[in-house]
Structure 1
Amino acid sequence: MITERYKRQIQLPQVGTMGQQKLKDAKILVVGAGGLGCAILPYLIASGIETIGIIDGDIIEESNLQRQILYPEKTVNQKKVTVAKTQLEALNSNVKIETYTNYLSDENAIGIFKNYDIIVDATDSIKTRYLINDACVITQKPFVYGSVYRFEGQVSVFNYKNGPTYRCVFKNNSSKITNCEDAGVLGTTVGFIGMLQANEVLKMVLETGDILSGKLLIYNILNNTQNCINFQKTETRTIDEAFFNSEYNSDKIEATCFKEAVLNKSNFIDVRELHETPKIELPDVIQMPLSVLETELKKIDKNKSYVVFCQTGKRSLEAIRILKKHQFSNVKHISGGAIAIQNNIENEKSIY
């Protein structure tokens, strides 16, 4: 342990040398390397937590730079987790960083979570938060929740010592989230909420302070108002691996099953924007971007079955939710999206 490096926090009676050892031994996974992740990760690394996992499938875009402060201009179009690892290792050479360059999914969540003590939600996806919650319940891990909408942010800790879960506050996943791209956000809002999340991680590791378990902290940086809502554990469903598999796999087909869907003359809906590539060259693909899907549904027959895809499989989940809300009963989406489909087509050119 490098006591000189950490002496300012070791001086705190709530930390001391024993607390610093706890930080050194802790294993933390951060899901998402965007705005929240870029605020959370440097403080965890600087505190002396030496085992960090980062999972995110995104690449860096120019519009990210305003709030995702880990990324220099020259790293645009590079993988976020790869650049984050390099930047964080420069901050603290003692750290061991494990990177996962795919998005969190029902296939990998439980296996990854088992390797960590605390899971931190730094995403902007409601669907992913339910996935994080359920995988945390199964693996018995607490997770630190954070979200931002314009000038307001929320922070809580779920599944801490068998306490309330995300589902106790947010009963179902039918609500729609507006991301930073659509709603707009100041970098300082994201940074502030991310630091509050990092603070909850440190308190849990150090076993000190008042943990935000059973409490939803809401802070508005524009008018400096703060509200803390108390809630109880109300979710009574048993979340086990059988529940998990039925919850996340029932509407999904693998890209490797695309051949079978084509041969069965399935109806395909491409919910990507019209300019996105690769183009999937099939005669019966309906082009209906997610941004207009709900207003254009009258153009398609709800009595037919549909297979939905997007670029990587994330927007198609939202499309499934919209279709089901409007009584489309026979709908599936393709895991991996158009990229996986294109790879499958290249391997099976004879049938297309």
Structure 2
Amino acid sequence: MSLPPLVEPAADLTRDEVNRYSRHLIIPDVGMTGQKRLKNAKVLVVGAGGLGSPALMYLAAAGVGTLGIIDFDIVDESNLQRQIIHRQATLGLPKAESAAATVREINPLIEIVVHNTALDRDNVLEIFAQYDLIVDGTDNFATRYMVNDAAVLLGKPYVWGSIYRFDGQASVFWAEHGPCYRCLYPEPPPPGMVPSCAEGGVLGVLCASIGSIQVNEAIKLLAGIGEPLVGRLMIYDALEMTYRSVKVRKDPECPLCGENATITELLEDYEAFCGAVSVEAADAAQDSTITVQELKAWQDADEKIFLIDVREPNEYEIVSIPGATLIPKGEFLNGNALEKLPQDRKIVLHCKSGVRSAEALAVVKQAGFADAVHVGGGVLAWVRQIDPSLPSY
């Protein structure tokens, strides 16, 4: 369905703006009025990562007058494979600042607002209130639900995107005209069910495919042209090169935007709601987590330990902690790994960051290995704190 323009047009365009945006101006559906609306628009991009990179660059090039960037992370070398807004020269800098510098080079005629902070329940409403439209480029469920809830509570539309390996999704959520994210996904998936891009990987160019779709939808909403993805979920398969659209209906029982909504303010703890780590894993890891320094000391002292890497084989090929035996987490969950565990050595588990090893630790402890432990921070901590000569990923 067509929707009215989200913003009013600016008073005029300067000569420089007319020259810059001329290819928009000669499109009848955009024209001078549509470009003036873009100039008058205020758009916030949440996350300057894989999706945020192309989104910020194309929103800037399109002439969105005020562009907000919120991100609290720093630029890491592993980002450069897909986060094209960052450069070798900005390694170690805050992502929000790095992104702002690139965007200013793309279009000096627009205003850039940098929010170099973590988005949380204490600041999300205040920050969102400053903008007409939100573009969600986040990569974790806790932030996605918080973005959705804040947008619904403020009555603002937002453009959502998601990527994983070769698959991408995109939609527009606007409770005033259609469903919200909770209508599509009422509950987050169980912990560990959906790996993050950091764990499962993502084809770099997929970010551009989905990020550009997000910008396309943003422009349509701001200018009031075309039929935005409200009430539709676009699914893209890069390997098969297929696009398909699925209808998403507003859930009358949705606790946030339904007829008898029970959620009238932000949740106290979105991490707890999404269960970043299962209760069983958290319980198992309590008082059974060691540091990489402790692991190194045990190895140097030739302690009787059995070090297990619960990542996937392709991750193990990239980098591994010396002396580790590879047994993927899936073998612990189906029980096949238990017969491989020695009875005369202390079981020490690790993964990339500590999440998957905590889940495997819960299984091991339930099987009777009461003194088993896992390594907090995993391979990433080992590379940073013990052997920086090893590659990171």
Amino acid at match of 2:172: V
Deviation at residue 72 of structure 1 after TM alignment:
1.3
Tell me by how many angstroms 1:8 deviates: 0.8
2:266 counterpart residue number: 244
After TM superposition, the score normalised by the length of structure 1 is 0.73
Query: Which runs of structure 1 show a deviation greater than 2 angstroms over 4 or more consecutive aligned residues?
Result: 174-177, 238-243, 245-251, 267-276, 297-301
8 Å CA contact 1:28–1:51 kept in 2: the answer is: yes
Native 8 Å contact 1:143 1:160 kept in 2: no
Q: Does 1:178 pair with 2:176? A: no
SS for the counterpart of 2:176 is helix
Give the corresponding residue for 2:207. 190
Mark the structure with the bigger radius of gyration.
2
Match of 1:283 in 2: none
Contact 1:272 1:290 in 2 (8 A): no
Residue of structure 2 aligned with 1:9, choices 11, 24, 44: 24
2:107 is equivalent to residue 97 of structure 1:
no
For the residues of structure 2 that align with 1:29 and 1:90, how far apart are their CA atoms? 18
Structure 2 residue matching 1:161: 3-state secondary structure:
coil
Aligned position for 1:136: 151
In 2, distance between residues paired with 1:47 and 1:114?
Answer: 23
Rounded Cα–Cα distance in structure 1 between residues aligned with 2:116 and 2:288: 24
Q: Structure 1: which 5+ runs fail to align? A: 252-266, 277-286, 302-309, 312-352
Q: Deviations over 1:309-333 (max 9, x none)?
A: x99xxxxxxxxxxxxxxxxxxxxxx
Quick one: which of 59, 77, 85 aligns to 1:70? 85
Give the alignment of 1:1-352 within 5 angstroms.
1=13, 2-159=17-174, 161-175=176-190, 176-234=193-251, 235-238=253-256, 242-246=264-268, 248=270, 269=286, 274-275=291-292, 289-297=354-362
Query: What is the CA-CA distance between 1:290 and the residue it aligns to?
Result: 1.7
Aligned-partner Cα distance in 2 for 1:148–1:140: 26
Distance 1:30 1:11, change over 3 A: same
Aligned partners of 1:74 and 1:297: how far apart in 2?
A: 42
Aligned length: 282
Contact 1:271 1:290 in 2 (8 A): no
1:118·1:201 contact (CA, 8 Å) conserved in 2? yes
SS of alignment partner, residue 244 of structure 1? coil
Structure 2 vs 1, CA of residues 20 and 182 (structure 1 numbering), >3 Å: closer, same or farther?
same
**What is the rounded CA distance, in whole Å, between the counterparts of 1:217 and 1:61 in structure 2?**
30
Query: Using the alignment, how far apart are the partners of 1:174 and 1:187 within structure 2?
Result: 24
Contact kept in structure 2, 1:155 and 1:217, CA below 8 Å: yes
Which residue identity does 1:210 align to in structure 2?
E
**1:272 & 1:117 partners in 2: Cα distance?**
45
Residues 273 and 290, structure 1, Cα contact 8 Å, conserved in 2: no
Write the letter of the residue equivalent to 1:244. L
How well do the aligned residues superpose, as a CA RMSD in angstroms?
Answer: 2.9
Encode CA deviations 1:72-103: one digit per residue, 9 max, x unaligned. Answer: 11211111000111111111111111111122
SS of residue matched to 2:126: helix
Q: Specify whether residues 81 and 240 from structure 1 end up closer, same or farther in structure 2 by C-alpha distance, changes over 3 A only.
A: farther
SS of 2:21's equivalent in the other structure is helix
Change (3 A) 1:91 1:248: same
Contact 2:59 2:215 in 1 (8 A): yes
Most deviating of 94-103 and 52-61? 94-103
Secondary structure of 1:198's counterpart equals helix
CA contact (8 A) 2:143 2:270 kept: no
Over the matched positions of the two proteins, sequence identity in percent amounts to 38
Q: 1:228, 1:274 → 2: CA distance?
A: 47
